[in-house]
Amino acid sequence: MNRLRVKLKSERGASILLAMVFFLLCLTVGGVVLTAATASAGRIASQRQTQQDYLTASSAAEALRDILNETSFTITATTTVVTGADGIPREESIVSRNLETAETKALQPALAAAAAAVSKGETASPVELTIEAEGLDDVSARLTVSDGLGDDKYTVTVTLSVGDGTDGGRQSVTLTVPAASASHDEERHVTENDPATGETVQTDTYRSVEKITWPRGAITKGAAA
């Protein structure tokens, strides 16, 4: 070690060259360490942002699931048959559709329109929503209501995404909420005199009620296929 110090202090060319090589080696090692540290810090920041985006999307999905758990869609088909003294029945049919939900701003009209379309045998158009929360990035949501047969009918699927597409891309989760259906029929028969003519009028009312609810749901990572 002492000999190395002596050579480094020497003004001879070999010592100066050795000192330059040693300096360049230290500079190279330092650059490699600095580059690795910078890359590692970037990866950590990206991973942290990716995790935050995923948690934001998941929180929005949980909020939507809670809203859907308290939502119901009722279809009431009423047929009224009025038979006068002439014995000729006159029939009138009315179908009403009503969505009840705790959230009335953006989701209520969109889900009501989609469910109504499915109830008519039509394909519901996807609904685009933006979910905002103070202190968090906005979440983009795409909601669809299935017009399939059997248990798949009225299933609500929501794909929620957050992020700007950089540093790992947009983080997405999918909320899938199958529908439950319950129905019952009602009848009412009334015989009364028409005040205007004094004739006997028979009124028969038949009502069919179907109630759709979304009592459960699953959240999965990634966008819907």
pLDDT at position 64 is: 87
9 pLDDT band, cuts 50/70/90, is low
> How confident is the model over 154-197, as pLDDT tens digits?
999 999 988 654 444 578 899 999 999 899 999 999 888 877 77
pLDDT of residue 156: 92
| pLDDT range class, residue 77, cuts 50, 70, 90 | very high
Q: Which residue has the higher pLDDT, 52 or 105?
A: 52
Q: Supply the mean pLDDT for the chain.
A: 80
Least confident segment among 70-74, 135-139, 205-209: 135-139
Buried b (16+ CB within 10 A) or exposed e, 192-214: eeeeeeeeeeeebebeeeebbbb
DSSP letters along 101-166, please?
-S--SSHHHHHHHHHHHHHTTPPPPPEEEEE--TTS--EEEEEEE---SGGGTT-EEEEEEES-S-
The C-alpha atoms of residue 136 and residue 182 are separated, in whole angstroms, by: 39
Output the pLDDT for position 168. Answer: 45
- Identify the band that residue 109 occupies on the pLDDT scale cut at 50, 70 and 90: confident
First to last CA, the chain: 68
pLDDT at 92 over 80: yes
Eight-state DSSP code of residue 70: T
Nearest to 163 by CA among 185, 140, 183, 180: 140
Please give the model's pTM, rounded to 2 decimal places: 0.69
pLDDT digits (tens, 9 = 90+) for 33-73: 666 556 555 555 556 767 788 888 888 899 888 888 888 99
Euclidean distance between CA atoms 131 and 125, whole angstroms: 19
Examine the pLDDT at 2 and tell me if it is beyond 70: no
**Residue for token pair 């038979």:** 83
User: Of residues 105 and 61, which shows the higher confidence score?
Assistant: 61
